[in-house]
Amino acid sequence: MRLDQPRVELRPRSSWEAMELGTALVRTHARAIWLPWLLLTLPVFVVLNAIGWVAGLLPWVPFVMWWLKPVFDRIPLFVLSRSLFGDAPSVRETLAAQRTWAWRAMPAYLTWRRLGPTRALYLPVDLLEGGTDPGPRRRVIGGSVRGTAFLSTLVCLGFEAALVFGAYALVMLFVPVELLSESARAMWALLTEQPPPWVHVAGNLAAWLATSLIEPFYVGAGFGLYLDRRTQIEGWDIEIAFRRMRRRLQALLPLLLVACALGLSMPRPALAQTPSAPTTAEEAAKAAADAARKAAKPAGTKRKSTEPPTLPMVFPQVQDPARFDKAVERAYADPLLSPKRTEKRWERRKPVKPGEPRTPGTFPAIFAKAIAVIGEYGLWLLAALAVGLVLVTHRQWWPWLRGIAPPPRIADTPVASEPHLSPDALPDDIAAAARQLWQDGRKRRALALLYRASVAGMVARTGAVLVPGATEAECLRAARGLRDQGDRDAFGRMVRVWQYAAYAERLPDDGEFEGLLGQLGGRFGWAA
């Protein structure tokens, strides 16, 4: 582990940037996190479901898996903490570490701290730091990000619930539209009214998959907040920069010692003799020319140095000196570092003195001033013209605008309906009543009467119990209890004719109706 070489850029961030950093770390090390997660949580899931199946406690399995989340959260936290300052641990190393790593804090997180809304933020404090009294440390780390950690808990919980309910809704997408209503009722009854064990196992599997997908991101978001708080409070970025500088200086220390030793061993040079005055006129002229050139050279001009640059020796990793120079200039431009700075602004070459009359400007200046005046007052003029045009033409557009509004809602007239007759209210002469309805033109009523009478006759012979609102398919299944094959065929024909009439608007002709009436009357004892 190299503390001075983190794999991410440690700098002060906002809370949302910190959580994004944590989730990015999870995505980067996805294999190292999810593979140990599946290898550890899947056997626990299988064992709990097996115990729940035998003991009849399958509905409690998701709650137990949810309660054991802090134990499983050690896996992503272990991987992220090790990969931050080094290589990501292998799957074998992660699984081996779970046997002994950070079990000291688990009793608290499985009891009184289990329902804490900021668990992801405090887990690194308890599991990575391992202090004897972590309470003050939690308060310092929590600080201003406690609300953000609570919000991340709610968001991740909502994502898990959405995935679980989405898994249930996915099943309904493959149900045919023709059978949707019946299937919906059947599925609701399957899920609520004594569901079989496999339904509980399927629900537990959906909950486990949702937790396995969302929980590592939840732990990663909390770890990102933890890193950001330590960076802000303890100055991790500054400490790491000093660590890197010390390492570079330690590498140059032998060279500096050798240079100092050589400098001390060299003899001191003799004092230079004072140059004598020029003896000739040529020498005097040359000296005067050199003095004139030195005097004419600007004071701020830097002399070219023949010494090699020292920047690569101190900072060998700098690849772009220009970028480094710009960063240095920005640092020196800080008002706290250099209170004096140079500002540039535009000024008139010939400033106007107070009380001096202004001379008319040039043509571009006059033209620009005219455009400004037109733009200032022209907009107000256009606005006034638009308002006047609207007021003048309101007779033309106001009725059209009123027509856009929806018309007043008129109360719907109630649909005339006849009372639904129960099987006890069937007429005494069913055949005569059905034939009279058919002759009066109420053919659907006639077929409905025959269908209800057939169902009542089938129930009386089989002793079946039909729930209110039973479908045609349920009635056909109940008709299997009829002993005579002819009775079953007659009832099936009646159901088929009724479905054609009710759902396809295909009514039989008079001859087919009389044949159906005669067959049913002979089978169920009606007077035809």
Q: Where are the domains of the chain?
A: 15-242, 423-524
pLDDT value, residue 71: 92
Rounded Cα gap, residues 118 and 150, in angstroms = 5
pLDDT at residue 102 is higher than 70: yes
- For the entire predicted model, the pTM comes to 0.47
Convert the pLDDT of each residue in 505-518 to its tens digit. 888 888 888 888 88
- Tell me the longest C-alpha to C-alpha distance in the chain: 159
pLDDT value, residue 36: 93
Selected residue with higher pLDDT from 84 and 255? 84
Rounded Cα gap, residues 107 and 104, in angstroms = 7
pLDDT value, residue 138: 83
281-290 b/e (C-beta count within 10 Å ≥ 16 → b): eeeeeeeeee
Q: What residues have CB less than 8 Å from 138, skipping those under 6 apart? A: 122, 125, 126
Q: What number is the average pLDDT over the span 227-233? A: 85
pLDDT at residue 188 is higher than 80: no
Please state, in angstroms and as integers, the Cα–Cα distance from residue 43 to each residue in 36, 209, 513, following that order.
12, 14, 65
Q: What number is the average pLDDT over the span 105-126? A: 88
Q: What number is the average pLDDT over the span 443-448? A: 86
DSSP secondary structure code for residue 2 in this structure: -
Q: What residues have CB less than 8 Å from 119, skipping those under 6 apart? A: 70, 73, 109, 113, 153, 222
Q: Are 492 and 479 in contact (CB under 8 A)?
A: yes
pLDDT at residue 374 is higher than 90: no
Confidence of residue 419 (pLDDT cuts 50, 70, 90): very low
Confidence of residue 275 (pLDDT cuts 50, 70, 90): very low
pLDDT at residue 248 is higher than 90: no
Give the range with max mean pLDDT: 24-28, 196-200, 330-334, 419-423. 24-28
Q: What residues have CB less than 8 Å from 439, skipping those under 6 apart? A: none
Q: What residues have CB less than 8 Å from 507, skipping those under 6 apart? A: 443, 444, 447, 500, 501
Among the residue ranges 63-67, 95-99, 316-320, the one predicted with the least confidence is 316-320
Selected residue with higher pLDDT from 190 and 65? 65
Q: Are 502 and 444 in contact (CB under 8 A)?
A: yes
pLDDT at residue 35 is higher than 90: yes
- Of the CA atoms within 13 Å of residue 37, those in its CB half-sphere come to 29
Selected residue with higher pLDDT from 272 and 490? 490
Rounded Cα gap, residues 487 and 390, in angstroms = 80
Q: What number is the average pLDDT over the span 32-45? A: 92
Q: Are 6 and 227 in contact (CB under 8 A)?
A: no
The helix (H) or strand (E) run that includes residue 417 is none
Within 10 A of 122 (CB to CB), how many other CB atoms are there? 22
Give the range with max mean pLDDT: 17-26, 126-135, 307-316. 17-26
pLDDT value, residue 38: 93
Convert the pLDDT of each residue in 39-49 to its tens digit. 999 999 999 99
Within 10 A of 469 (CB to CB), how many other CB atoms are there? 7
pLDDT value, residue 39: 92
Confidence of residue 272 (pLDDT cuts 50, 70, 90): very low
As a dihedral over the C-alpha atoms of residue 59, residue 64, residue 65, residue 68, rounded to 10 degrees, the angle is: 170
Residue 443 has phi, psi (to 5 degrees) of -75, -40
Selected residue with higher pLDDT from 528 and 153? 153
Within 10 A of 70 (CB to CB), how many other CB atoms are there? 21
Q: What number is the average pLDDT over the span 315-326? A: 65
Q: What number is the average pLDDT over the span 370-383? A: 80
Q: Are 175 and 183 in contact (CB under 8 A)?
A: yes
pLDDT at residue 313 is higher than 90: no
pLDDT at residue 491 is higher than 70: yes
- Of the CA atoms within 13 Å of residue 263, those in its CB half-sphere come to 6
Q: What number is the average pLDDT over the span 64-82? A: 91
Q: Are 443 and 509 in contact (CB under 8 A)?
A: no
Within 10 A of 471 (CB to CB), how many other CB atoms are there? 14
pLDDT value, residue 278: 46
First to last CA, the chain: 97
Confidence of residue 219 (pLDDT cuts 50, 70, 90): very high
pLDDT value, residue 220: 92
Helix axes 430-439, 510-524, angle to 10 degrees: 170
Confidence of residue 285 (pLDDT cuts 50, 70, 90): low
60's tokens: 């409690």
